Amino acid sequence: MQEGSLKYLMGFLQSEDISKAEIFGQLKSSKEEAEILRFLTKEYLNGSSEMTVYDLLMTVYETKEEDFSYVEKIPLIKNILHQGWIILHTFHHTKTNELSQLEILHLSVSLSTSFLKILENGNLDLVMPEIKAYEDNLEYLQDQFFRVDLYQNLAIIRQSYDQSSPNYKRVRHKLTMLEHQIEQRLKETKETPKVEEYMKTNKLEDKERIIFLALLKEEYSSTDENLRDMNTLIEMVSMDEYEKIKNRSLLEENSGLIEKQIIDYDEVLTAFGGISRSFFISEDVLSDIIHPTAKKEKKSKKIRLDVLVKEQDIFELVEPKTTLSDVILHPKTREMLDTIMKQMDKTVANRLKDWGIKDKKSGMEAKILFHGHPGTGKTMTALSMAKTLKKQIVSFDCSKILSMYIGESEKNVRKIFDSYKDIATKSKSDPVLLLNEADQFLSSRTTSAASSADKMHNQMQNIFLEQIESFDGILIATTNLLETFDQAFSRRFNYKIKFEKPNLEQRKQLWHKMIPTNAEVADDVSIDALSQHDLTGGQINLIVKNTAFKVATKEEPIFTQSDFLESVKKEISGTFGEDATVGFLS
């Protein structure tokens, strides 16, 4: 505290008549309320920054325990709280002014930042500098970051008080003055600050600007990332509960900020099994803003992934529609996938880079093998995993490798991986590479290699081994057979996950999910009975579809138990064969 500002503090502490203290007029409090504040100030200076309302009243009014007259003074505490001079420490989600007097009695209070500033400066008036042009980007950001602080303060006050509280009005007034100041200074500035220019170019709305600036503030301040949380950001730009619901769209997948790749987010599994989102400004945007004058290498033009995939004519670009939370899996499979997702978390990846385990320049990486019976959800899980990681996925059907490239199979195995690197570089993205039905790649190599076909097959596998070894990114291979699995491949995959056939409970979930919800189902349909049949998710999916085709042709299109059982019988007897497509939704 500077020497010149001690007079306000000392005057408040030493005035015989507290109403004569210079800051008394600023408080808009009664003399009795000011005396309570004076007592709390002395306690604060003596090292006691917090005390219960009960202890405060008992001490100030020197009341004996058997005398309950102190209860009559609780309204004074509520008034001071409403004025914003003290803070109530509570775990309640209820606003402070909605708490009853008795609820307040045994809660703790402390002096607010606003009151401490009055003690130091004599008032809370925001002293604005002279209207003049911004000299540089950082000077402009200083004002904008202060603006973010005020928005955050308003959000905190709203959680405890209503918007009629004096403290809320004071902060709101400060914000209005500051926003006017920024507007006027921008008019005087000939060269628009880089950040302002960027927000205008991208046509960011007011609330989008606040979110963008809050995330930018986090990058500059290197704090504990308290402004990156979705709920915190939404609170800042929302005046009430209705707006909170409405404004969630600002941070959803199809929002302008995310679709324009201005911001992105990480999804992290919480300790309670949920998923939280932590937002950040995209690396390219951040580089342009923090280093606007730095010389940069000319960037190659970013090309859309779907265009590149179409040009390559090797891969299929698949748009996942489900996340891992939608997929019904065996508990052991689910547990392993959850472990993988945690290890792909940005915080974990950075920790591994710091330890020297991962290359600092490398992105998200994993080589994963899904193996198990057909129809158990391998492909669906791979797609859902990509969706959860917010990544696109390019798929290659390995069963076609020989028929597509007869005589050049070895050469074209390398071409698969070279083409992937090419589209990843040109699209400036790291899509997941899915190698479906990779059985022949992963089977044991022939030791004798007597025929030319055996030699070609072995050479093709050797190249495949080399390419997996050097692959940088996320690769998922699926196979139905593991009996002939070459152990050389085992060492190349970080994770090998077995997909079990669904148990009884999971089969019930699958039947419930796959029977059309808007179709008419007869009373005799028993999910419990249908679930007794040992079927995979792919088989149940196929049975429901084929039953639906049959029922749709009836004059009265009602699903019956006999309809389902007829399809089950045909599936088990092999009339339909097996469907490789799995639709395993929870």
Give dist(CA 95, CA 484) in Å, integer. 65
Which of residues 389 and 94 earns the better pLDDT score?
389
pLDDT of residue 564: 93
In 10 A of CB 544, how many CB atoms? Answer: 21
Q: How far is CA 90 from CA 57, 96, 105, 239, 478, in A?
A: 18, 9, 11, 22, 53
Both structure tokens of 411: 């050469």
- The domains of the chain, with CATH numbers, are 3-121 (no CATH), 137-290 (no CATH), 305-499 (3.40.50.300), 504-573 (1.10.8.60)
Does residue 93 register a pLDDT over 70? Answer: no
Average pLDDT of the residues in 107-129: 79
For 233-268, give the DSSP string.
Answer: HHHHT-SSHHHHHHHGGGGSTTSHHHHTTSEEEEEE
Among the residue ranges 429-438, 441-450, 473-482, the one predicted with the least confidence is 441-450
Query: How does pLDDT run across 309-355, given as a tens digit for each residue?
Result: 887 778 888 888 888 888 888 888 888 888 888 877 767 777 777 78
Q: How far apart are CA 371 and CA 377, in angstroms?
A: 10
- Please tell me the predicted confidence (pLDDT) of residue 547: 92
- If you average pLDDT over residues 555-584, what whole number do you get? 74
Residue in the structure block whose two tokens are 């990843």 = 424
Contact of 510 with 537, CB cutoff 8 Å: yes
d(CA 359, CA 370): 26
Distances (CA, A) of 294 to 289, 290, 291: 10, 9, 5
Comparing 70-79, 107-116, 400-409, 478-487, which segment has the lowest mean pLDDT?
Answer: 400-409
Residue 40 pLDDT? 93
> Distance of alpha carbon 216 from its chain centroid, rounded?
17
Alpha helices, DSSP H, located in 61-201? 74-83, 101-105, 113-121, 137-160, 166-188, 194-201
Average pLDDT over residues 461-479: 86
pLDDT of residue 526: 93
Q: What is the DSSP string of 191-248?
A: S--HHHHHHHHTT--HHHHHHHHHHHHHHHHT---TT-BHHHHHHHT-SSHHHHHHHG
Mean pLDDT of the chain: 81
Rounded mean pLDDT, 439-451: 65
Helix axis angle, 409-427 to 305-312, nearest 10°:
160
CA distance 54 to 58: 6
pLDDT band at residue 546, thresholds of 50, 70 and 90?
Answer: very high
Report, as an integer, the average pLDDT of 145-156.
87
CA distance 179 to 573: 74
